[in-house]
Amino acid sequence: MAIENGDFVKIEFTGKVEETGDVFDTTNQDVAEEAGIYNKEKNYGPIPIVVGGKHLLPAIDEAVLGMEVGDNKKVTVDPENGFGHRDSSLVQLIPMKEFKKQGMTPYPGMKITAEGQTGKILTVNGGRVKVDFNHELAGKTLDYDLTISEVIDDDTEKVKSMINLHYAYPNMDLDKTEVEFDEDTIKIKLDEITHFDQKSYMDITFARYRISKDLYENMPYDKVQFVDEFEKRAEEESEETEENTESEE
Amino acid sequence: MAIENGDFVKIEFTGKVEETGDVFDTTNQDVAEEAGIYNKEKNYGPIPIVVGGKHLLPAIDEAVLGMEVGDNKKVTVDPENGFGHRDSSLVQLIPMKEFKKQGMTPYPGMKITAEGQTGKILTVNGGRVKVDFNHELAGKTLDYDLTISEVIDDDTEKVKSMINLHYAYPNMDLDKTEVEFDEDTIKIKLDEITHFDQKSYMDITFARYRISKDLYENMPYDKVQFVDEFEKRAEEESEETEENTESEE
């Protein structure tokens, strides 16, 4: 079945800069290692997306339309549809003394962050440091190699795929995640180990919002609930606790 | 109606050290200010407890049994039933150089924490510092003045009282907290503002566990669920977002 917008699919891809052939992103661990961009924090393997959900470049969403499981496609993305054209006003000369103030010794290739923008130092010449604040892929034509690994049909698996995409927690077991569909509501009980996540509750809320949005926009449900349940255990009924109690908070 | 174990009540109290008359804890802001122990982080006013739930000293739980709304009672708690007897082995001499290593200048009355224990410096004599690691109220006879402000009968109010006791978040509105009773389960939707709590998810889980335990042990329900809901808004259906999308994580 040809893929349409709103389909949940798993895709594999490798993206290269056309000009140089440098791999800048890939779902394949071997390819990442070979290209010297392996990141041990990242999960490799096919990644789940909702087609049209803007999880990847819109050009990729478009390329996927009409493909089928197992299909492979090469897609060329020009700068307009990629990371934009280079903007020469984003190449700036910064006085060396600004770096010294912060105790930094700039060198070509060094990455810096200023006012939330990431830049790369191009040259250091006497009292002046030339920094490029363009996106590293700005002005580049990109070659993507895409393969459709799977089209997800099962509703429970659709839900789990979005949890997988938006929320990472070490040792979380998606098999221990319960998903229930009740009238207009999707109810999710995550693996209980996630209750001990040390990230802030606000960060968890943002991840849950992203999961929910992808689900209610692409499935026939209007609400997504995350349910944390605490249950009385039989032995607790008569249990005598040895807790230390104080009248002070 | 005479108060029994398992009742949800609100009480006001002031606790004084018998020997000195010093107020060490109170639910009354004026009394706290007068005694010089006012703490702006603390909410004053009657506090909710489950009688027998060990939220306060067991001796207070016992004293409350049989009282009625509006009743006032003075209770004397001896050290056995309070914060224990003083243990002379907990008064320790610590070489001054241990303090110097940490860049600290000890003085009598200073409070320090060592290996998780809090101690108070008694004297500083040449090279030796005498520190008392006994609880400040150890060995003291305590005089409590208790008033029963309210007995909570309504089930929804019982649930809210335990949220109030165990979970504090600025600007949280308990009127915006929804409580539903469904067969053996209490379902709680907290005021949505709490979704943005910056405390860790783990800390929130501990607070939720304490709330749940007090509820399922003292109400005829076996499960407590905390439900965070995300709902599709009508305007989102066709909304075109301007989100920036990237193929890189």
> What was the ipTM of the complex prediction?
0.80
Q: A235 falls in which pLDDT band (50, 70, 90)?
A: low
Q: A102 to chain B nearest CA, in Å?
A: 27
Check residue B42 and give its pLDDT: 85
| Lowest mean pLDDT across A77-81, A102-106, A140-144, A189-193 | A102-106
Note the pLDDT of residue B126: 81
In this complex, how many residue pairs, one in chain A and one in chain B, have their CB atoms less than 8 Å apart?
137
Using CB atoms, pick whichever of B56, B243, B249 lies closest to residue A245: B56
In chain B, the residue whose alpha carbon lies closest to the alpha carbon of A221 is: B232
In chain B, DSSP finds a helix count (H) and a strand count (E) of 5, 12
Which of A33-37, A169-173, B135-139, B196-200 has the least mean pLDDT?
Answer: A169-173
Look at the block and give the residue holding tokens 């997306």: A49
- Taking residues A72-99, what's their average pLDDT? 92
Which amino acid makes up residue A25? D
Query: Measured between alpha carbons, how far is B203 from A198 in angstroms, rounded to an integer?
Result: 8
Task: Determine the residue among A40, A83, A228 to mutate to test chain B binding: the one whose Cβ has the most chain B Cβ atoms within 10 Å.
Answer: A228
Query: What's the mean pLDDT in A207-220?
Result: 96
Q: What distance in Å separates the CA atoms of residue A46 and residue A34, rounded to the nearest whole number?
A: 18
Count CB-CB contacts under 10 A for residue B25. Answer: 21
Say if A201 is an interface residue toward chain B (CB within 8 Å). Answer: yes
If you measure CA to CA, which chain B residue comes closest to A219? B232
Q: CB distance A228–B208 less than 8 Å? A: yes
Q: Would the CB atoms of B201 and A194 count as touching at under 8 Å?
A: yes
Which residues between 113 and 142 in chain B have a beta carbon less than 8 angstroms from any beta carbon of chain A? none
Is 50 exceeded by the pLDDT of residue A242? no
Contact A229 B223 (CB under 8 A): yes
* Chain A residues with CB-CB distance to B241 below 8 A: 54
**B56 touches A: beta carbon within 8 Å:** yes
Long-range contacts of B16-22 (CB under 8 A, 24+ apart): B16/B142, B16/B143, B16/B144, B16/B145, B17/B137, B17/B140, B17/B141, B17/B142, B17/B143, B18/B76, B18/B140, B18/B141, B18/B142, B18/B143, B19/B140, B19/B141
Looking at the complex, report in whole angstroms how far the Cα of residue B13 sits from the nearest Cα belonging to chain A. 10
Minimum Cα–Cα distance from B135: chain A residue: A246
Q: Which of A13-17, A243-247, B108-112, B160-164 has the lowest mean pLDDT?
A: A243-247
Q: Residues B128, B106: contact at Cβ < 8 Å?
A: no
* B56-B58-B64 Cα angle (round to 5): 80
Residue of B42, B198, B249 lying closest to A249 (CB–CB): B42
CB-based contact A153:A6 (threshold 8 Å) = no
| Record: contact A227-B227, CB cut-off 8 A | yes
Tokens standing for residue B107: 């003085």
Distances (CA, A) of A247 to B54, B59, B77, B83, B168: 9, 10, 12, 10, 18
pLDDT (0 to 100) of residue A230? 96
Interface test with A, best of B230, B235, B248 (most A CBs within 10 A): B230
Candidate from A94-103, A208-217, B211-220 with smallest mean pLDDT: A94-103
Closest CA to A211 of A165, A172, A153: A165
Say if A159 is an interface residue toward chain B (CB within 8 Å). Answer: no
Residues of A in contact with B13 (CB under 8 A): 247
CA distance A179 to chain B (A): 14
Nearest to B228 among A196, A216, A225 (CB): A225
| A248 touching chain B per CB within 8 A | yes
- Quote the CA–CA distance of A21 and A13 in Å, as a whole number: 15
* Closest Cβ–Cβ partner in B55, B201, B225 for A229: B225
Task: Establish if B199 touches chain A: CB-CB under 8 angstroms.
Answer: yes
Compute the nearest-CA separation of B200 from chain A (Å): 4
A181 touches chain B (CB under 8 A): no
Tens digit of pLDDT per residue, chain B (249 long)? Answer: 899 999 999 999 999 999 999 999 999 999 999 999 999 888 899 999 999 999 999 999 999 999 999 999 999 999 999 999 999 999 999 999 888 888 888 999 999 887 778 899 999 988 899 999 999 899 999 999 999 999 999 999 999 999 999 998 878 899 999 999 999 999 999 999 999 999 999 999 999 999 999 999 999 999 999 999 999 987 654 444 444 444 444
